[in-house]
Each structure stands twice: as structure tokens, then as C-alpha cells.
């Protein structure tokens, strides 16, 4: 029997994760994901999960099950749709506030120039708040996906803390830090904090069995 291809290996792992978690998704091996050769990502709307070739090569089966469980968490939780819905609602709210503010200033006799400057400043401020709050939501969604990976991998007979090991391989320097100043403008929590959370959740899951 010949050696498994990357695709065959990933499909074998995915089949176990699917069956154990009653999850619906497809997996694909591609050269790059979001411009990176060491990444995985999910198209949550179409329930498709992509793994970069080098990521598959570098990870053990347990690691891949952990990463896959994380991406399945995004699919199951419909995170792409959730953030799009939130951002759409915020933009609509911003337009309403700016429209009302413009009408109020116009009624008070403020000219176009003054209204324009005032509304531009208010718009920039609200946009900044929306961006930061969106990033906070995304970090929360990443935590939820990490939590999901613990159960998804464990249910399929893989190491429930496997995603933590995968994170150590992907970000060995970040694995030592639970917080950085860049965290507040990042889509992901600090790697060290994610690893600690996954290990804790995995230990709790093992105690329950």
C-alpha cells in the first residue's frame, strides 16, 4: 500500500470528526490560505474548510484534528455570517445617526461646511469604534472556536488539547505570551492565552468523562 497523499490523510481525519460531531463540511488541501502557506481557514457560508499543503505536512494527525475542530467551530457557529450581520447593523445605525445629526444642525442654521466637518469627525469616530468592536467580536468567536475544537477532536478520539500543540508550532514565540499591546487591534487573542484556555478546557473535558 502506498503512502497517503495529503488529501487522503486530511479526508480520513475529517471523516472521523464529521461522524463524531454530526457536522456538515468539506475539506480541501490548497497551496495557500489567505496568502499563507502555513494556515487553515473556513468559508462558513459554504461550509468549506481549506488547509495549506505545508500545514498538513507539518502537523500530526492529532494536530490536524485540533485545527480542523477549530475551523468546524467557525462553520457550525456561522461566524462569517455573524460578523457580517453585526457590521451591517452598525453601518445602518451610523447612517441613521449621521442623518439625524445633519438634519438637526441644518435646522439650527448651520451651513454645509460646518455640518460637513462635524459629520466627518463624528463618522471617523464611529467607524473607529465599529472597527474595534468588530475585532473584539472576532476574538470572542476565535475563543468559541477554540472551545469547540476541544470537544470536536476529543469526540473523534484525538487529543482534545491538540489545537494547543498546533498553535505552539505555528507561533512558538507568541506561545509564551498571554497578552500583547497588539491584541486589542487583532482578530485573534494572544497565542499564549489561547493555549492556556485550550489546555484548561481539555482537562475539564477529561474530568467529565
Side-chain-side CA neighbours of 202 within 13 Å: the count stands at 23
Residue 132 has pLDDT above 60, yes or no: yes
Q: What is the mean pLDDT of residues 101-105?
A: 88
Q: Where are the domains of the chain?
A: 6-208
- Tell me the pLDDT tens digit for each residue of 24-76: 999 999 999 989 988 999 999 999 999 999 999 999 999 999 999 999 999 99
Q: Which residues pair with 43 in a beta bridge?
A: 48
HEC per residue, the chain: CCCCCHHHHHHHHHHHHHHHHCCCCEEEEECCECCECCCEEEECCCCEEEEEHHHHHHCCHHHHHHHHHHHHHHHHHCHHHHHHHHHHHHHHHHHHHHHHHHHHHHHCCCCHHHHHHHHHHHHHHHHHHHHHHHHHHHHHHHHHHHHHHHHHHHHCCCCCCHHHHHHHHHCCCHHHCCCCHHHHHCCCCCHHHHHHHHHHHHHHHHHHC
Q: Which residues pair with 33 in a beta bridge?
A: 36
93 vs 198, more confident: 198
> Comparing C-alpha atoms, which of 73, 19, 27, 70 is closest to residue 50?
27
58 C-beta neighbours (distance < 10 Å), count: 14
Task: Look at the chain and count its residues.
Answer: 209
Q: What is the mean pLDDT of residues 78-86?
A: 89
Q: Is 87:79 a contact under the CB 8 Å cutoff?
A: no
- Tell me the pLDDT tens digit for each residue of 10-19: 999 999 999 9
> Comparing C-alpha atoms, which of 7, 40, 6, 42 is closest to residue 24?
42
Residue % of the chain over a pLDDT of 90:
55
139 C-beta neighbours (distance < 10 Å), count: 19
HEC per residue, 108-126: CCCCHHHHHHHHHHHHHHH
pLDDT, residue 166, reads 95
Amino acid at each position: 500500500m502506498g503512502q497517503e497523499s495529503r488529501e487522503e490523510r486530511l479526508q480520513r481525519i475529517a471523516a472521523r470528526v464529521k461522524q463524531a460531531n454530526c457536522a456538515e463540511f468539506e475539506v480541501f488541501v490548497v497551496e495557500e490560505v489567505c496568502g499563507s502557506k502555513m494556515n487553515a481557514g473556513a468559508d462558513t457560508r459554504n461550509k468549506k474548510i481549506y488547509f495549506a499543503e505545508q500545514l498538513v505536512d507539518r502537523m500530526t494527525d492529532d494536530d490536524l484534528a485540533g485545527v480542523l475542530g477549530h475551523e468546524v467551530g467557525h462553520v457550525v457557529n456561522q461566524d462569517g455570517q455573524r460578523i457580517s450581520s453585526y457590521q451591517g447593523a452598525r453601518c445602518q445605525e451610523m447612517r441613521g445617526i449621521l442623518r439625524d445629526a445633519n438634519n438637526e444642525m441644518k435646522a439650527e442654521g448651520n451651513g454645509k461646511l460646518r455640518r460637513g466637518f462635524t459629520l466627518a469627525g463624528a463618522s471617523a469616530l464611529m467607524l473607529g469604534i465599529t472597527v474595534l468592536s468588530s475585532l473584539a467580536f472576532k476574538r470572542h468567536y476565535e475563543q468559541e472556536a477554540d472551545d469547540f475544537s476541544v470537544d470536536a477532536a476529543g469526540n473523534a478520539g484525538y487529543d482534545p488539547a491538540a489545537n494547543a500543540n498546533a498553535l505552539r508550532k505555528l507561533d512558538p514565540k507568541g506561545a509564551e505570551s498571554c497578552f500583547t499591546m497588539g491584541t486589542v487591534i487583532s482578530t485573534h487573542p494572544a497565542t499564549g492565552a489561547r493555549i492556556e484556555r485550550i489546555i484548561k478546557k481539555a482537562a475539564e473535558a477529561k474530568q467529565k468523562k
